[in-house]
Amino acid sequence: MGFRTAVAVASLIGMAIPAAAQDRPDQKAFLEIYRELVETDTSLSAGSCTRAATQVAARLKAAGFADADLTLFSVPEHPKDGGLVAILSGRDRKAKAILLLGHLDVVEASAADWGRDPFSLTEQNGYYVGRGAIDDKAQAAIWVDTLIRLKRAGTAPRRTIRMALTCGEETTFAWNGAQWLAAHRPDLIAAEFALNEGGGGRLDDAGNRQMLAMQVGEKAAQNYTMVAIDPGGHSSQPGPGNAIYRLADALKAVQAYRFPIRFTDTTRAYFAAAAALSPEPMKSALPRLVADPADMAAADIVSRDAAFNATLRTTCVATLVRAGHAENALPQRAAANVNCRIFPGETVEGTLARLKEIVGSDVTVIANQPIRPVAVPPPLTPAIMEPSRRLAARHFPGVPVVPFMSTAASDAVFIGGVGIPVYGVPGLFIDRDGGGAHGLNERIRIRSLYEGRDYLYDLVRAYAG
């Protein structure tokens, strides 16, 4: 989940990024918003999205938004998981709104692991470092900043702009604000389309720009549990029915299995662009595979790239293991969580059936609750792609903008479910390793943040008229 641009090209010809000024007064005002968001702990265990949403609402009100334009929401059972919807009214009441979507919650972070306070924004070696620095507080801060700048400009856009900042995106079992809005207050988020996380840009190791991506569709995330059961016994007399070994065999079978290759219009366009910028043998293998998914030689080459492989097919991977009950006893139970990212058009039930076939009858496989809906792929249209390309030519000359299917999952599953196409926007360039999102010392290049802010501000203006 979250903002991990998986624009994957093994080695691309990039363009050097010129130095960007970071001392404009408007940039300093933006940094205050960004810093406050990052330094507000919004983790599920100890943080509060409600506090962050309230802080954002106060900033919007100070910029001239009326109380009627701001809706803070939560439910009594989850008082710390609240969110905010803000509305900037447009001039044309007949024109459908656009929705700026972002999430306030972050993945858990331990100061002991980081070696610093993860909820303190630190400047280090040209980066901003902190939990949420990328996922998703960079874009959330840009959306807030964009509304403030447009409000203070004094000229209303043609379309109404709605912004929804929600909680619960990062944790499957958490209360999810986007899901609640879609189910209970769709009027607050009604829009022709939504702009979300999931797109972005890719840098090489030297900081050169490689590619910008507009996310048009995403995989579905679903967890499954595999369980092996045995009567157990004394560890001094081991037998063949060890639950841990049976589970291990099942997990090795999952590791070895490759789900069938699939393509969408978006992934075909993406791989065509990637082929044009890739070295051999990837350059030749990609078009061969798109033309013939049964070309196993081409499939082997393309699948060596982890992100390309994930864009080709459903993937399943073990993420958690729990086994045994005593160090001197044979295990009575061994269980593992297997996290699957399901390709559009495939189903949770179909993936479950395939996993059962892979592991056989010695291990039980079940689909974990909650079972989220499968994301609805939005249409790939010039109305979305052309403004992003036109502005990229001005902000990032020579860098291509390509449609891209995210291998992760986001709150688009809920927003798309009520008829609002959701696109992950380009603009924020991230290092090849994902900038540590969901991991240690999450970071974003300072100049990438400011340049992305300017690009996204212009992109919202272009879409909103």
Residues 63 and 153 placed together within one structural domain of the fold: yes
Number of domains in the chain: 2
| Residues with Cβ within 8 Å of residue 322, at least 6 apart in sequence | 334, 335, 336
Residues 415 and 295 placed together within one structural domain of the fold: no
CB 135, CB 439: distance < 8 Å:
no
Give the per-residue pLDDT at 22. Answer: 66
Asked if residue 5 belongs to a domain, the reply is no
Asked if residue 6 belongs to a domain, the reply is no
Choose one of 344, 367, 390: the last residue of a domain.
367
Residues 68 and 207 placed together within one structural domain of the fold: yes
Residues 386 and 415 placed together within one structural domain of the fold: yes
Residues 191 and 241 placed together within one structural domain of the fold: no
Residues 211 and 247 placed together within one structural domain of the fold: no
Choose one of 347, 367, 387: the last residue of a domain.
367
Residues 240 and 159 placed together within one structural domain of the fold: no
Asked if residue 15 belongs to a domain, the reply is no
- Model-wide pTM > 0.75: yes
Residues 352 and 399 placed together within one structural domain of the fold: no
Listed as ranges, residues in the chain with pLDDT below 50 are 1-20
Residues 176 and 67 placed together within one structural domain of the fold: yes
Asked if residue 198 belongs to a domain, the reply is yes
Tell me the residue range of the domain where 320 lies.
220-367
CATH number at residue 408: 3.40.630.10
CATH number at residue 237: 3.30.70.360
Choose one of 367, 402, 419: the last residue of a domain.
367
Asked if residue 313 belongs to a domain, the reply is yes
* 42-98: pLDDT as tens digits: 999 999 999 999 999 999 999 999 999 999 999 999 999 999 999 999 999 999 999
Give the per-residue pLDDT at 21. Answer: 52
Give the per-residue pLDDT at 87. Answer: 98
Question: Which residue has tokens 């065509």?
Answer: 272
Residues 198 and 233 placed together within one structural domain of the fold: no
Give the per-residue pLDDT at 13. Answer: 29
Asked if residue 123 belongs to a domain, the reply is yes
CA atoms of 117 and 120, how far apart (whole Å): 6
Q: Amino acid identity, residue 195?
A: L
Give the per-residue pLDDT at 149. Answer: 97
Asked if residue 417 belongs to a domain, the reply is yes
Asked if residue 235 belongs to a domain, the reply is yes
Give the per-residue pLDDT at 232. Answer: 95
Residues 340 and 389 placed together within one structural domain of the fold: no
Residues 60 and 181 placed together within one structural domain of the fold: yes
